[in-house]
Amino acid sequence: MRIDTDTITNQNAMQVVQAGQSALLAGDCVIDFSGVLRCDTAALACVLAWLRLAHANGKTLQLVAVPKELQSLATLYGVQALTSGT
């Protein structure tokens, strides 16, 4: 699933996470961030929600084109392994 917004913040995180969850449940385990230009910790929350859902369903989540901002946040919180091509 390609994320269809250029920004992920607390303003739209619920919609983004729901779109990702729908994609995962439909069998699409690849989340493509290539269109995301700006994000905050809400994006990390989305990734965590998707990882929980994928794990609960025996699937492996793959993240593509993870923005540098998200990688930096993951490093800051000590969860960088979650965003490095999971």
Q: Is residue 12 part of a domain?
A: yes
> What is the pLDDT at residue 42?
97
Residue 13 belongs to domain with CATH number: 3.30.750.24
Question: Residue type for 52, please?
Answer: R
Domain count, the chain: 1
Q: What is the pLDDT of residues 33-80, one digit of tens each?
A: 999 999 999 999 999 999 999 999 999 999 999 999 999 999 999 998
Instruction: Print the domain residue range for 40.
Output: 7-82
Q: pTM of the prediction? A: 0.93
Q: Is residue 64 part of a domain?
A: yes
> What is the pLDDT at residue 4?
95
> What is the pLDDT at residue 81?
87
Specify the DSSP class assigned to residue 62.
Answer: E
- Could you give the CA distance from residue 28 to residue 35 in angstroms, rounded to a whole number? 17
Greater confidence (81 vs 61) lies with 61
Q: Is residue 1 part of a domain?
A: no
